[in-house]
Chains A and B, each alone.
Chain A
């Protein structure tokens, strides 16, 4: 079964810390990987997308990496702020039942304390 796992499930840090969120996937035949942010009661906001041929993508204080061989991706958040508090979801675009589907992890709930 193709799975996407995120560790930790929850994280609480003081403002200003650099932090790393982890995502692992079981299928190395990944097409791309996308990181999302979800605020309570809201939909998902796309943060970064990494194609399988790429190793990392950066946007502002966010940096995402992809290592297909080890089945891992990380999301690095620099100088965290209280406004970064949200659930962060990674999703791998994987081949399932003859078509590509976005398979999500359960997310990491991040709290950045002022």
Chain B
């Protein structure tokens, strides 16, 4: 399968813990995006990378959130000191360029107890 893959699929953790998610984009895609989706809503943009450079961060992304794409391939999204409001589906997408479709992974569902 050469699509976007995300790991883990599900994460359950207690409030206050740190969590890290991983995204492996389609191999030739240099753009990588993170989104957050809550029930009944469309995804909301969080941040985006062009190769290893993080070019944009949403105001939704508080200081507890950090994302990296160290070698321009896979990316990680870390949430520190998780809160109940962080419970959501975290989606990763990749694209070749702005003119091409974004392709999404199946997401990581985060549940905060």
Chain A residues near B44 (CB-CB < 8 A): 104
Shortest Cβ gap from A69 to chain B (Å): 22
Query: Which single residue of chain A is at the shortest CB-CB distance from B3?
Result: A43
Chain B residues near A89 (CB-CB < 8 A): 42-43
Q: How many residues of A contact B (CB 8 A)?
A: 26
Residue among B6, B42, B43, B102 having the largest count of chain A Cβ atoms under 10 Å: B42
Say which residue of B100, B102, B106, B109 sits within 8 Å of A102 (CB atoms): B102
Inter-chain CA distance A89–B102, complex, in Å, is 13
Chain B residues near A51 (CB-CB < 8 A): 99
Interface residues of A in 43-70 (CB under 8 A from B): 43-46, 49, 51
A101 touches B45 (CB 8 A): yes
Chain A residues near B93 (CB-CB < 8 A): 44
Inter-chain CA distance A7–B41, complex, in Å, is 13
Chain A contact residues, CB within 8 Å of chain B = 4, 31-32, 34, 36, 41-46, 49, 51, 89, 91, 93, 97, 99-107
Chain B contact residues, CB within 8 Å of chain A = 4, 6, 33, 40-45, 48, 55-56, 91, 93, 98-107, 109
